[in-house]
């Protein structure tokens, strides 16, 4: 399951995209995130509860500002680089 | 002298329904889904995975109470009691506040499953327009979520936004879609869709001499553009369906179809007896997942 954390508003669109089918729940991205925006969460997939990485609730509605300093347009953020499973990507388009 | 009661144009109808020709007995697996939304609370009862009854009420300030009320409403006239329910799944914005639920599941998974139940396995994209958020969900033929996004940062285009507009223009919410289509030529979408500024925006246009229909068309158009963008972000794949309260807004539905160039699957006529209601998709999906979870637990 691919989850788009973030939003689009009048200024552009900002999403951190996490693929929970690929995510192993290792937590390396959580350790690397300089803003502490990532955490491990229980997700309900195929009638099972699986532990996967997620953007924490408090950061979802301000992700443009939370993630800005990691330069998400580049797609080389600490979380993306930390993920061996290649489960994380960014969609960052400022209008 | 008593003041005449002010008309409440935003108020939509609470109702409950029991599917005709459906019976239950004690051997059946009876499950429930309770979807406590930000604006509406919906509860659905399933017998062996088939929709049996449901109730829709307005969510109050107390989520557990709204959940209980919705469930009682769904059970009304069925002869069933809460204790007859084998498994209850809570979902929606207030899902953690459904005290009788065996499990809470996100509304994303429930809406996906519910759309799959209502329209069948050909559904691949679900747009759920709720009271306070908009979700675009891509699913597979079993109703499993493939990709999704949720926009809950802004109320523009949500059910609550539409309620505000209905009140401003003094048009009953249930007619807002039809009326927005009564324009000869589609106007440019409004530039500012913010619900907080809706009054300023609408008043400005009315003062310019726009008709109510035209103002509504321009606002609805802007909403539809936003929703189409969300759908394109998760990737549009046919068939497309719309769930949630705004699925009843024909003005939104027709405009999304025009913008995306695809037809949505035909909406069940929810006003008719024996017909399903896309507004209860989440609750039906929750009841369906409740059955699957119950069976899984029985197998051990």
Residue B300 has pLDDT above 80, yes or no: no
CA A26 vs. chain centroid, Å, equals: 14
d(CA B169, CA B185): 20
User: Which of A35-49, B23-37, B91-105, B151-165 shows the lowest per-residue confidence on average (mean pLDDT)?
Assistant: B151-165
For chain A, how many residues are written?
A: 95
Helices (DSSP H) in chain B: which residue ranges?
A: 63-75, 107-119, 159-169, 176-180, 198-207, 212-234, 250-260, 281-299
- Residue B165's pLDDT is 85
d(CA B280, CA B50): 13
Residue B3 has pLDDT above 70, yes or no: no
d(CA B189, CA B217): 8
Question: Mapping DSSP to helix (H, G, I), strand (E, B) and coil, where does residue B179 land?
Answer: helix
DSSP-derived secondary structure for B187-207: PPPPS---STTHHHHHHHHHH
Pairing of strands B125-129, B240-243: parallel
| Structural domains for chain A | 2-94 (3.30.70.20)
Do residue B296 and residue A47 have CB atoms under 8 angstroms apart? yes
Q: For CATH 3.30.420.40, list the domain ranges present in chain B.
A: 15-120+280-299, 126-260
Which tens digit of pLDDT belongs to each residue from A15-57?
Answer: 999 999 999 999 999 999 999 999 999 988 888 899 999 999 8
- Residue B1's pLDDT is 53
d(CA B105, CA A32): 29
d(CA B148, CA B139): 9
- Residue A6's pLDDT is 92
Q: Which of B300, B232, B296, B287 minimizes the C-alpha distance to B116?
A: B287
Which tens digit of pLDDT belongs to each residue from B38-80?
Answer: 889 999 999 999 999 999 999 999 999 999 999 999 999 999 9
Which tens digit of pLDDT belongs to each residue from B231-278?
Answer: 999 999 999 999 888 888 999 999 999 999 999 998 888 888 889 998
d(CA A54, CA A48): 17
CB–CB of B248/B177 below 8 Å?
yes
Q: How many other CB atoms sit within 10 Å of the CB of residue B188?
A: 9
Nearest to A1 among B146, B150, B233 (CB): B146
Which tens digit of pLDDT belongs to each residue from B198-235?
Answer: 788 888 899 999 999 999 999 899 889 889 989 999 99
Cβ contacts (< 8 Å) between A6 and chain B: which residues? 149
Nearest to A1 among B145, B150, B293 (CB): B145
Residue that has been written with the tokens 């669109």 in this structure: A13
Fold of B126-260: Nucleotidyltransferase; domain 5 (3.30.420)
Which tens digit of pLDDT belongs to each residue from B96-152?
Answer: 889 999 999 998 999 999 999 999 999 999 999 888 889 999 999 999 999 999 887
CB–CB of B140/B120 below 8 Å?
no
d(CA B222, CA B149): 19
- Residue A65's pLDDT is 93
Question: Mapping DSSP to helix (H, G, I), strand (E, B) and coil, where does residue B59 land?
Answer: coil
Cis, bond preceding B195 (omega within 30 deg of 0): no
Q: Which of A56, A45, A61 minimizes the C-alpha distance to A79?
A: A56
Which residues 1-40 of chain A have a CB within 8 Å of chain B? 1-4, 6-9, 13, 15
Domain B15-120+280-299 = CATH 3.30.420.40: yes
- Residue B67's pLDDT is 94
Cβ contacts (< 8 Å) between B143 and chain A: which residues? none
Distance from CA of A71 to the nearest CA of B (A): 21
Distance from CA of A50 to the nearest CA of B (A): 13
Residue B164 has pLDDT above 90, yes or no: no
- Residue B283's pLDDT is 96
Looking at the predicted complex, does its ipTM rise above 0.95? no
Model confidence pTM above 0.90: no
Best of A3, A52, A59 to disrupt the B interface (most B CBs within 10 Å) is A3
Task: Report DSSP state, residue B246.
Answer: G
């Amino acid at each position: 399951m691919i989850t788009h954390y973030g939003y689009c508003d009048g200024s552009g669109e900002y999403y951190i995209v996490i693929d929970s089918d690929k995510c192993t729940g290792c937590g390396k991205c959580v350790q690397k995130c300089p803003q502490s925006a990532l955490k491990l969460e229980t997700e309900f997939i195929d009638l099972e509860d699986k532990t996967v990485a997620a953007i924490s609730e408090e950061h979802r509605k301000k992700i443009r500002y939370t993630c800005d300093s990691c330069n998400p347009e580049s797609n080389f953020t600490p979380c993306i680089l930390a993920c061996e499973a290649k489960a994380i990507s960014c969609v960052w388009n400022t209008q | 002298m008593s003041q005449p009661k002010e008309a409440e144009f935003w108020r939509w109808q609470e109702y409950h329904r029991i599917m005709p020709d459906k019976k239950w007995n004690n051997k059946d697996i009876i499950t429930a889904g309770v979807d406590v939304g930000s604006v509406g609370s919906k509860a659905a009862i399933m017998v062996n995975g088939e929709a049996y009854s449901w109730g829709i009420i307005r969510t109050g300030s107390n989520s557990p109470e709204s959940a209980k009320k919705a469930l009682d409403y769904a059970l009304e006239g069925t002869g069933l009691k809460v204790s007859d329910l084998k498994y209850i799944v809570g979902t929606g914005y207030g899902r953690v506040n459904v005290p009788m639920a065996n499990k809470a599941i996100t509304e994303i998974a429930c809406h996906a499953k519910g759309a799959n139940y209502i329209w069948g396995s050909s559904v691949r994209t679900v747009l759920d327009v709720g009271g306070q958020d908009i979700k675009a969900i891509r699913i597979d033929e079993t109703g499993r979520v493939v990709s999704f996004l949720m926009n809950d940062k802004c109320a523009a285009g949500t059910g609550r936004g539409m309620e505000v507009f209905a009140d401003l223009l003094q048009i009953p919410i249930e007619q807002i879609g039809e009326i927005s289509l009564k324009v000869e030529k589609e106007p440019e979408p409004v530039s500012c869709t913010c619900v907080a500024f809706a009054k300023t925006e609408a008043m400005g246009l009315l003062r310019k001499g726009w008709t109510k229909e035209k103002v509504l068309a321009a606002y609805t158009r802007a909403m539809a553009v936003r929703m189409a963008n969300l759908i394109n972000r998760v990737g549009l794949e046919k068939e497309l369906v719309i769930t949630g309260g705004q699925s009843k807004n024909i003005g939104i539905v027709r405009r999304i179809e025009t913008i995306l160039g695809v037809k949505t699957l035909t909406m069940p006529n929810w006003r008719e007896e024996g017909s399903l209601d896309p507004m209860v998709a989440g609750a039906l999906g929750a009841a369906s997942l409740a059955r699957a979870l119950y069976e899984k637990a029985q197998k051990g």
